[in-house]
Amino acid sequence: MSLPLPEWRISTDPVPYSEALAAMEARAGEVAAGEARELVWLLQHPPVYTAGTSADPAELIDPRFPVVSAGRGGRYTYHGPGQRVCYLMLDLNQRGRDVRCYVHALEGWAITALAMLGVDAFRAPGRVGIWTMEGAREAKIGAIGVRVRRWVTLHGMAINVDPDLSHFAGIVPCGLPDYPVTSLAALGMGDAAATFDQALTLSFPGLLATLSSLPEKEG
């Protein structure tokens, strides 16, 4: 029997990070308890640096914006206007208890959506996230950080549509100093926000299909 589709929510105004974190954790708890549908939430934040569980204080170079402990995996990242943040509260009890496959599915979702806009994005071995070529160099266009509680997912991914890329200079993004950060605008697609949301919607069934292909596991 197929599962109901997750609720799809888009917030038009920036949502303060701490407020979003509280709402996300509350919804994930309701999903785990069987009291609410799964949720895909598209939003953006006012400028903020978030610290994952592996964050190294030495990589916080210039805390010009608030710094919030996120509770997700990963290191420091930046969120701000012009960035499409995608939070997912999915029940992996129903969709497969495989966190590595879930992260792989997130990457695939972003790669497929970007391809719909003509952007050739890819995975990079040993580097979680979404990558593309900016001229002759590899550059990161999207970050991924997840948490799983009671086998319900929290957090998700953030794709750079048209953020102020200078804001990333306050941190070592995701602990990778040798790779630049790019955006759709930097690649010549500054008006892609609405089109990208549409691409995310159209490509989302592929993420669910990837999870549904997992072999059933006991326990």
**Does residue 131 contact residue 121 with C-beta atoms inside 8 Å?**
yes
Let me know if 101 is a catalytic residue: no
Q: Per the residue annotation, which of 51, 111, 174, 192 is the catalytic one?
A: 174
Mode of pairing for the β-strands spanning 137-149 and 152-160: antiparallel
Say how far apart CA 202 and CA 58 lie, in whole Å: 40
Say if strands 127-134 and 137-149 run parallel, antiparallel, or are unpaired: antiparallel
* 99-116 helix and 193-212 helix, angle to the nearest 10 degrees: 140
Nearest CA to 11 out of 86, 78, 71 is that of 86
Q: What are phi and psi of 169, to 5 degrees?
A: -70, -15
The helix/strand/coil state of 219 is coil
The C-alpha atoms of residue 175 and residue 169 are separated, in whole angstroms, by 12
Which residues, in sequence order, are bridge partners of residue 156?
87, 145
Alpha-carbon distance of 217 to 84, in angstroms, equals 33
Task: Write out the E strands in 59-119.
Answer: 67-69, 76-79, 83-89
Q: Which residues are catalytic?
A: 174
